[in-house]
């Protein structure tokens, strides 16, 4: 029995010798997890709303022939910009010039006949008081003179029509703009039924049309009507490649009716479209905006507003909505349900649920549990926010305000 007891006493020591050296020692209790915090602060931010829109030319003209004639010359470069009054097409002129000359000759003949009729009328009126005079002769001469005067007026109208038709043989640009390719080439007969020869679209400025839901329109009216309406909003465009267009526009039209099938209203803005630096207007791609182009329309308030903002990285979400972790007076992490306002990819605007000055955890969230003690420290400064970015704050938010003296939540 004594031998068996010795074996049993040695067995635990043998097992301990087989364990790793660190396995026998108990781990020392770790301290509270380190987290980065920021203080919820009010800062200036520009309100912005984004919609999908399309660029439209302010003016658009379809060139058509006004007379039937052969097309002799095309005097423009397809796709180039033209100026008002530029000669674009030259039609056959000799037949129309002949009609003008014939009308002028007819007028000259009638004027000579009218002059003779006027003399005849004068002689008849002179002889009327004498024995050789007759009233019927005067009446006939007067009627002949008036008839010739009417024929002269009709001939002058025919001359005017002939001159107008002659002018139609020169098709000129009625507006400034970029011209499309020609639909009819030289040598073909054109007429008013031939359709559009080419199209001119104006280039500067341009319209941008976009539709918004009626509810969104009511929100915009409530937001900006007290601040000046159209004058309180500027338009910026995000181009298809993601760049923000360098020119700003303004609203100038709101549709008076609501589309029944989509419950939307149409808004229109005017935005400059100047020639790009270093390029000539006649060169392809000399302007940034193109008629028919899809863009993102950014409606921004002229005056920034004050909002309560925190880093977007501090916001978490679950099935119940958005929430953040705040650090209370005992350095415990507490869940706070919040309602977000208009936010950006880097900054979250808190509409409800958070008070100014509260400490919000933005770094180390994976180590935080509700009600657990944490070790807060200032979070890394957020990247500077570009004032040109749509909806971004006009001033970069501070990482955290300096704690007040005696504040139990002093950051360590």
Q: Residue 364: which CATH number?
A: 2.40.420.20
Q: Do 245 and 153 fall into the same domain?
A: no
Q: Do 339 and 241 fall into the same domain?
A: no
Residue 26 neighbours by CB under 8 Å, 6+ apart: none
Q: Domain boundary residue among 270, 301, 332?
A: 301
- Write down the pLDDT at residue 47: 73
Q: For residue 70, is it within any domain?
A: no
Q: For residue 263, is it within any domain?
A: yes
Give residue-wise pLDDT tens across range 199-245.
999 999 999 999 988 888 888 888 787 777 777 888 999 999 889 99
Residues 274/279/280/285 CA torsion (nearest 10 deg): -70
- Measured CA to CA, the distance from residue 395 to residue 4 in angstroms comes to 82
The boundaries of the domain holding residue 406 are 30-45+306-412
Q: Do 315 and 409 fall into the same domain?
A: yes
Beta strands in 125-184 (DSSP E): 170-172, 177-179
Q: Domain boundary residue among 301, 334, 361?
A: 301
Q: Do 412 and 310 fall into the same domain?
A: yes
How many domains is the chain partitioned into structurally? Answer: 3
- Measured CA to CA, the distance from residue 119 to residue 150 in angstroms comes to 17
- Measured CA to CA, the distance from residue 292 to residue 354 in angstroms comes to 45
- Measured CA to CA, the distance from residue 283 to residue 77 in angstroms comes to 11
- Biggest alpha carbon–alpha carbon distance for the chain: 188
Q: Do 206 and 146 fall into the same domain?
A: no
- Measured CA to CA, the distance from residue 318 to residue 324 in angstroms comes to 11
State the 10-residue block means of pLDDT for the chain, 412 residues long: 44 44 50 87 79 94 94 92 94 94 92 87 75 73 88 93 94 94 92 93 94 86 79 88 90 89 91 89 83 90 78 89 91 89 78 88 88 86 47 37 36 32
- Measured CA to CA, the distance from residue 81 to residue 282 in angstroms comes to 5
Q: For residue 1, is it within any domain?
A: no
What CATH number should be reported for the domain holding residue 275?
Answer: 2.40.30.170
- Write down the pLDDT at residue 380: 77
Q: Do 351 and 297 fall into the same domain?
A: no
Beta strands in 14-104 (DSSP E): 34-39, 41-45, 48-57, 60-63, 69-74, 81-82, 87-91
Q: For residue 82, is it within any domain?
A: no
Q: Do 342 and 264 fall into the same domain?
A: no
- Write down the pLDDT at residue 10: 41
- Measured CA to CA, the distance from residue 333 to residue 282 in angstroms comes to 65
Q: Do 107 and 144 fall into the same domain?
A: yes
Q: For residue 115, is it within any domain?
A: yes
Q: Do 109 and 158 fall into the same domain?
A: yes
- Measured CA to CA, the distance from residue 44 to residue 278 in angstroms comes to 37
Q: For residue 20, is it within any domain?
A: no
Q: Is the pTM of this model over 0.85?
A: no
Q: Residue 79: phi, psi to the nearest 5?
A: 85, -5
Q: For residue 76, is it within any domain?
A: no
Give residue-wise pLDDT tens across range 117-168.
888 888 777 776 766 557 777 788 889 889 989 999 999 999 999 999 999 9
Q: Domain boundary residue among 260, 277, 301?
A: 301
Q: For residue 231, is it within any domain?
A: yes
């Amino acid at each position: 029995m004594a031998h068996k007891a010795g074996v049993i006493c040695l067995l635990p020591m043998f097992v301990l010798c087989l364990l790793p050296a660190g396995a026998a020692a108990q781990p020392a209790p770790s301290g509270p997890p380190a987290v980065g915090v920021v203080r919820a602060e009010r800062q200036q931010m520009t309100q912005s709303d984004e919609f999908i829109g399309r660029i439209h030319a302010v003016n658009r003209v379809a060139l058509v022939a006004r007379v039937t004639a052969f097309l002799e010359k095309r005097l423009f470069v397809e796709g180039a910009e033209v100026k008002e009054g530029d000669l674009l097409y030259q039609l056959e002129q000799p037949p129309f010039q002949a009609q003008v000359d014939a009308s002028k000759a007819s007028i000259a003949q009638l004027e000579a006949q009218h002059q003779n009729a006027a003399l005849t009328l004068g002689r008849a009126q002179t002889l009327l008081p004498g024995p050789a005079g007759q009233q019927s002769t005067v009446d006939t001469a007067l009627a002949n003179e008036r008839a010739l005067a009417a024929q002269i007026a009709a001939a002058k109208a025919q001359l005017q029509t002939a001159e107008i038709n002659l002018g139609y043989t020169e098709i000129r640009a009625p507006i400034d703009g970029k011209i499309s390719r020609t639909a009819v080439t030289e040598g073909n007969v054109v007429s008013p039924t031939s359709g559009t020869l080419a199209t001119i679209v104006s280039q500067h400025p341009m319209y941008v049309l976009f539709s918004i839901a009626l509810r969104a329109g009511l929100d915009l009216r409530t937001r900006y009507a007290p601040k000046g309406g159209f004058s309180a909003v500027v338009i910026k465009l995000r181009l298809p490649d993601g760049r923000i267009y360098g020119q700003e526009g303004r609203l100038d039209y709101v549709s008076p009716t609501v589309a029944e099938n989509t419950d939307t209203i149409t808004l229109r803005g005017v935005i400059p479209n100047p020639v790009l630096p270093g390029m000539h207007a006649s060169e392809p791609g000399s302007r940034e905006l193109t008629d028919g182009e899809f863009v993102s329309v950014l409606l921004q308030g002229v005056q920034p507003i004050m909002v309560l903002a925190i880093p977007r990285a501090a916001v978490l979400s679950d099935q119940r909505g958005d929430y953040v972790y705040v650090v209370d007076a005992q350095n415990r992490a507490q869940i706070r349900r919040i309602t977000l306002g208009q936010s950006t990819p880097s900054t979250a605007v808190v509409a409800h649920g958070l008070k100014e000055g509260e400490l919000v955890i933005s770094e180390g969230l994976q180590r935080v549990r509700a009600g657990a003690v944490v070790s807060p420290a200032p979070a890394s400064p957020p990247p500077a926010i570009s004032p040109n970015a749509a909806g971004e704050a006009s001033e970069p938010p501070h990482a955290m305000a300096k704690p007040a003296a005696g504040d139990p939540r002093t950051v360590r």
